[in-house]
Amino acid sequence: MLKVFRRRQAGFTLIELLVVIAIIAVLVAILLPAVQQAREAARRSQCGNNLKQIGIAMHSYHEVAGQFPISGGVTIAGNRAWEAGNHRKGSVLLKLLPFVDQGALYNKVDFQLDVEAGQNYTELRTKKIPTFICPSDPAGGMNSNNGNALSNYSPSVGAQRMINCAAYPGNHFGNGAGEPFSNRAGDISGMFAMEAWGARVADVSDGLSNTIMVGEVVPVCSDHTNRAWWSTSALWAATTGPMNYPINIAGCPGNGSTIGCNTISDRATAIAFKSLHVGGAQFLLGDGGVRFITENIDYDNYQRLGDRRDNKSVADF
């Protein structure tokens, strides 16, 4: 009698399948952080390139106007630059539009009127400008509460006097005694004011390569930066508060409390430069160079970088 032998079908046993799954899980655990790091490196590189483009735009503007752009317009007695009225002419970044390939949008803005009202507002409100958005920001350049377009980059008012947080009063070298919305050069530590003043190259006696012009911000961390990239009162960050100071709101680096200066309305700490790149932030210096500066930088050196005329040397940063 013939015996019939059945050929065993090829396949995995349960144990073999579990081993394969375990190996795949280990490989994913090893590779995923590397992939994420590579993606973040690419985003950080793009962020640095955005700052370079803003630097080129700043100097192109200076060549035309003889100074760097101002926030708002000519101040009218009794009216702040951010208050409604035909003197309200928008942010520093709004003035840069023709130099970042946004001439068509710039030409739609009627600078004879209040640029934050009426038809101007309609044109600007939701317009995202790629050069003004860091790709690492999950908000993607939009305020989810009001639909306004935002910016991750802010002009620097330097080591300016601030209010609210007693631990960081500012005016580190006596060069920024006025509130940052002054339009007098002698009151302003950095290269820009919140109101109608912007430096000339000649006003930066420390040298452009030793002075911060623009730095990263995370819009949600401040009740100013979360308004809009085109808003007169939105963009005026300072070195006064430490970099990446924790503000108690979701989406802000740190998201915690240290000494009670952690609210989004605090001028010293909420308006400090902040970044979603781990360990520091990227800055545009006055000469157009872009540097990543660690958040552990010596506070005194950080203030020197913010101030345009402290006449002190800056240690290697």
Three-state SS sequence of 270-317: CCECCCCCCCEEEEEECCCCEEEEECCCCHHHHHHHHCCCCCCCCCCC
Counting Cβ atoms within 10 Å, is residue 24 exposed (0-12), middle (13-18) or buried (19+)? exposed
The DSSP 8-state label assigned to residue 214 in this structure reads E
| pLDDT for residue 307 | 97
- Angstrom CA distances, 131 to 8, 25, 47, 60, stand at 63, 38, 8, 16
Residue 213: which of 314, 131, 300, 288 has the closest Cα? 288
Q: Which amino acid is at 78?
A: G
Q: Say what the pTM is.
A: 0.87
Query: Would you give the end-to-end CA distance of the chain in angstroms?
Result: 90
The domain spans of the chain are: 44-306
- Looking at the DSSP bridge assignments, the partners of residue 54 are none
| pLDDT for residue 182 | 82
pLDDT in tens, the chain (317 residues): 555 555 555 566 877 778 888 888 887 777 666 666 677 778 889 999 999 999 999 999 999 999 999 998 766 556 777 788 888 899 999 999 999 999 999 999 999 999 999 888 888 999 999 999 999 998 889 998 889 999 999 999 999 999 889 999 999 999 998 877 788 899 999 999 988 899 999 999 999 999 999 999 999 999 999 999 999 889 999 999 999 999 988 888 866 565 679 999 998 999 999 999 999 999 999 999 999 999 999 999 999 999 999 988 776 67
Q: Which amino acid is at 162?
A: M
- Specify the length of the chain in residues: 317
| pLDDT for residue 13 | 81
- DSSP 3-state assignment of 238? strand
Q: In what order do the strands lie in the sheet with 290-294?
A: 153-155, 212-216, 280-285, 290-294
Dihedrals φ, ψ of 9, to 5°? -75, 135
| pLDDT for residue 256 | 59
- DSSP 3-state assignment of 22? helix
